[in-house]
Amino acid sequence: MPSLPFILLTLILATRSAGADVVVIVNASSPVTRLDKNQVSDLFLGKAATFPDGSQAVPLDQDNASGLHTEFHDKVTGKSVSQLRAYWSKLVFTGKASPPREIPDSRAIRSLIATNPNMIGYIDKGSVAPGVRVVYTP
């Protein structure tokens, strides 16, 4: 039987992720102004390496323990954490692709993207600030 602290942590994380609004962002100076669900999914699953204009795209993923990670992948890629692990294990093993770099939180992702026009990531809507542009909302 799960311990009380585990149950409480699970409830807190579920509540946080249920109330979070995830948005996909790029650098404010990027020529990318809008992406659709398939384009975003392809970038985060390694099926595409460039934005629609042909410029390099570098996806940044939230830490897989975060509620935003789960929410984003449920809504955009349709994959659970365990499905993502299996998916990336296969691609890495065959040498076809590497998973996006994991960043600990929305603030860190926003800071990185604000300094690099090739990066794309997802953050909590409340973390949007100057230097980044929202290009997709699931």
Q: Where are the alpha helices (DSSP H) in 27-122?
A: 37-44, 67-72, 81-94, 106-114
Q: Is 38 a member of any domain?
A: yes
Q: Which domain, by its residues, includes 79?
A: 21-136
Give the C-alpha separation, 124 to 14, whole Å.
Answer: 15
Q: Is 76 a member of any domain?
A: yes
Q: Tens digit of pLDDT per residue, the chain (138 long)? A: 555 555 444 544 444 444 569 999 999 999 999 999 999 999 999 999 999 999 999 999 999 888 899 999 999 999 999 999 999 999 999 888 899 999 999 999 999 999 999 999 999 999 999 999 999 999
Q: Is 3 a member of any domain?
A: no
Name the domain count of the chain. Answer: 1
CATH, residue 71: 3.40.190.10
What does the pLDDT read at residue 125?
Answer: 95
Give the C-alpha separation, 32 to 24, whole Å.
Answer: 12
Q: Is 91 a member of any domain?
A: yes
Q: Is 37 a member of any domain?
A: yes
Q: Is 66 a member of any domain?
A: yes
